[in-house]
């Protein structure tokens, strides 16, 4: 009688093992399908995305003197590189953003090339947002600290 119970006890173990293998196979298939979707279709979505704007005319602005946070001065003159499809751009917003941004900086932050590059990157991001991506880049015509 004990020999008859032994095969019956093994049957549920095999079915649990088969069920576990089926679940793992299903998870792997779904994961592989999702990965393939992102690999093949994500590139096509990027290709359909809007191409980057082309550079247009440059708008030069008069120099402005900014009081830095620690009592020093910065004399800066900007030029805005607009996009090719941009409407006429007035530089007042860009100057206002430059004064606000650089007025919070200290002389030591702007004395190094890395500090100037970081501050310029911040200014470019703010100006692009303010002009709704009608500005392609910003150039310093003059950047003098004292």
Q: Specify the 3-state DSSP secondary structure of 61.
A: coil
DSSP category for residue 91: T
Give the mean pLDDT of 44-50.
Answer: 62
d(C-alpha 88, C-alpha 106), whole Å:
33
pLDDT value of position 47: 56
Question: Does residue 65 share a domain with residue 24?
Answer: no
Residue % of the chain over a pLDDT of 70: 85
Question: Does residue 110 share a domain with residue 140?
Answer: yes
Question: Does residue 59 share a domain with residue 39?
Answer: no
Cα distances (angstroms) measured from residue 86 to each of 31, 123, 142:
44, 19, 25
Question: Does residue 127 share a domain with residue 99?
Answer: yes
Domain with 3 in it = 1-49
Choose among 77, 73, 99, 89: nearest CA to 132: 89
d(C-alpha 106, C-alpha 122), whole Å:
15
Question: Does residue 39 share a domain with residue 110?
Answer: no
Question: Does residue 135 share a domain with residue 113?
Answer: yes
Tally of domains within the chain: 2
Question: Does residue 111 share a domain with residue 61?
Answer: yes
Question: Does residue 124 share a domain with residue 82?
Answer: yes
Give the mean pLDDT of 17-38.
Answer: 84
Question: Does residue 32 share a domain with residue 80?
Answer: no
Residue % of the chain over a pLDDT of 90: 42
């Amino acid at each position: 009688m004990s020999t008859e119970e032994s095969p019956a006890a093994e049957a549920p173990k095999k079915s649990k093992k088969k069920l576990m293998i089926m679940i793992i196979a299903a998870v792997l298939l779904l994961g592989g399908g999702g990965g393939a979707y992102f690999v093949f279709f994500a590139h096509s979505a990027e290709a359909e995305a809007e191409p980057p704007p082309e550079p247009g005319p440059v708008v030069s602005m008069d120099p402005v003197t900014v009081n830095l946070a620690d009592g020093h001065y910065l004399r800066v003159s900007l030029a805005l590189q607009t996009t090719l499809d941009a409407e006429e751009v007035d530089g007042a917003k860009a100057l206002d953003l430059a004064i606000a941004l650089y007025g919070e900086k200290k002389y030591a932050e702007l004395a190094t090339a890395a500090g100037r590059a970081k501050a310029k990157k911040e200014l470019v991001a703010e100006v692009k947002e303010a002009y709704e991506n009608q500005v392609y880049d910003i150039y310093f015509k003059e950047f003098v600290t004292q």
